[in-house]
Amino acid sequence: MSILLSPVTFRGLTLKNRVVLSPMCQYSAKGGVANDYHFAHLARFGLGGFGAVMVEATAVTPEGRISYADLGLWSDDHVPPLARIVRFLRDQGAASGIQIGHAGRKASSAVWWRGRFDETEEEKRLVGFEDWPTVGPSAIPHAPDASEYKVPHALTVLEMDDIRAAFVAATQRAERAGFDFVEVHSAHGYLLHQFLSPVANQRDDAFGGSLENRMRFPLSVVKAVRDVWPSEKPMFVRISAQDGIEGGWTVDDSIIYAGALKDIGADLIDCSSGGFEGGIFSVGPGYQVALARSVRDGARLPTMAVGLITTPDHAEAIVREGDADLVALGRIALDDPNWPLHARLQLSGAEDPYAEWPRQAGFVVRQKDRALRLRGFAPDLS
């Protein structure tokens, strides 16, 4: 019996399995509005058998976008196209989540696949190019030598209150769109992580200095989100469990932060890492799984593991051995949007390994495999 492919419940939400589509920016929106590309991109993971599908980092203010092409939730106009995606995913039996965030000093940066602002004037018009001043805990740029990263304005407490209010409003819109869960983005060197880490936070007020002070703003944002998010719906938080930088944020800090997040009602910590210039990591299969394990054991709450988890056997082992409760897939899901369906054919114990396919396709895929004696019909070689 596969644990990975068995249901799991958080508050009032039961996921049909423990495979989650990791949030991935697609840099394909204009004015923050989801379009047909986003629908098709996300819909295929619902068809592909994911237990939950998470929408990419979605900005709570226009200035909080990583790039001009990010999704947003700062306006009611953003709700209907997201609601359409949610409805479709629900029809496929997939839960839907949305990651809400603010990029802080990493906002207004280049579209990832471009790497820099190289849009021609014609392209700028077509893609809705925008560039704007950034904000952060302190006036320290993300990368002093890169023209795409500006020196941020150090936020005043009143401006921080406005950003918290924007998180609240975005959460309420996410609820109106029908999302089953929300994830607060507190990772990857974006605004909340900037407050947490001494690498970016050199404030000398109540929001800088000690660990307790650096956690104050992020915790207040997460608490404000939890307060307006329905109590029967789970709230996840993505963290960078370590900066990989001397003097930066550490796994021990993450365990303390996760404990405080749990106390204010976080249901799961999604454990990633890094996000600041100069972070050193050794990247390989499951390279962040140990972080999910440390946070899970240290703070005693559910975690999600992510990062080069690509095979069903590996994902199954992560859940079975208690390293994490959920497994998030990023690039492998882009490579194979049917990953969970294929996992079901590979992992033993499923009664009918074709049952989870959309009914429009499953019976003919089964036919094809039977004719070719493949997968579910492969001769037993033992």
Ligand X SMILES: Cc1cc2nc3c(=O)[nH]c(=O)nc-3n(C[C@H](O)[C@H](O)[C@H](O)COP(=O)(O)O)c2cc1C
Residues forming the active site: 190
Q: Is 103 in the site for ligand X (CB under 6 A)?
A: no
Instruction: Show the site string, 53-92: x = touches ligand X by CB under 6 A, - = not.
Output: ---xx-----------------------------------
- Closest residue to bound ligand X by CB: 330
C-alpha–C-alpha distance, residues 173 and 273, integer Å: 28
Q: Is 290 in the site for ligand X (CB under 6 A)?
A: no
Nearer to ligand X, 31 or 330 (CB): 330
Beta strands in the chain, from DSSP E residues, in sequence order? 8-10, 13-15, 19-21, 52-59, 71-72, 95-101, 135-136, 153-154, 181-186, 235-240, 268-272, 303-306, 326-329
Q: Is 192 in the site for ligand X (CB under 6 A)?
A: no
Among 23, 51, 137, 302, binds ligand X (CB under 6 A): 23
Nearer to ligand X, 52 or 365 (CB): 52
223 in Cβ contact with 215 (< 8 Å): no
Q: Name the minimum Å distance from CB 58 to ligand X.
A: 8
# of chain residues touching ligand X (CB under 6 A): 19
Longest dimension (CA), the chain: 70
Among 140, 228, 332, 350, binds ligand X (CB under 6 A): 332
Beta strands in 282-342, from DSSP E residues, in sequence order? 303-306, 326-329
Nearer to ligand X, 129 or 287 (CB): 287
Considering only 142-150, 169-177, 185-193, 200-208, which stretch makes contact with ligand X by CB under 6 A?
185-193
Task: Work out the end-to-end distance of the chain between its first and last CA atoms, rounded to an integer number of angstroms.
Answer: 19
Going by C-alpha positions, the residue among 373, 366, 272, 315 that lies closest to residue 5 is 315
Considering only 19-27, 84-92, 150-158, 227-235, which stretch makes contact with ligand X by CB under 6 A?
19-27
Question: DSSP letter string over 223-276?
Answer: HHHHHHS-TTS-EEEEEES---STTS--HHHHHHHHHHHHHTT--EEEEE---S
Q: Is 285 in the site for ligand X (CB under 6 A)?
A: no
C-alpha–C-alpha distance, residues 31 and 40, integer Å: 19
Nearer to ligand X, 141 or 274 (CB): 274
Q: Name the minimum Å distance from CB 3 to ligand X.
A: 20
Among 5, 8, 15, 25, binds ligand X (CB under 6 A): 25
Measured in degrees and rounded to the nearest 5, phi and psi for residue 282 equal -105, 120
266 in Cβ contact with 301 (< 8 Å): yes
Instruction: Show the site string, 150-169: x = touches ligand X by CB under 6 A, - = not.
Output: --------------------
Going by C-alpha positions, the residue among 226, 222, 258 that lies closest to residue 240 is 258
Q: Name the minimum Å distance from CB 159 to ligand X.
A: 24
Instruction: Show the site string, 229-268: x = touches ligand X by CB under 6 A, - = not.
Output: ---------x------------------------------
Q: Name the minimum Å distance from CB 382 to ligand X.
A: 32
Nearer to ligand X, 170 or 187 (CB): 187
C-alpha–C-alpha distance, residues 67 and 96, integer Å: 23
C-alpha–C-alpha distance, residues 68 and 109, integer Å: 8
Q: Is 199 in the site for ligand X (CB under 6 A)?
A: no
Q: Is 307 in the site for ligand X (CB under 6 A)?
A: yes
Handedness of CA 15, 16, 18, 19 (dihedral sign): negative
Residue 188 gets the label, from left (phi > 0), alpha (psi -120 to 50) or beta, of: left
Among 185, 214, 293, 366, binds ligand X (CB under 6 A): 185
Rule CB under 6 A: which residues touch ligand X? 22-25, 56-57, 99, 185, 187-188, 238, 272, 306-308, 329-332
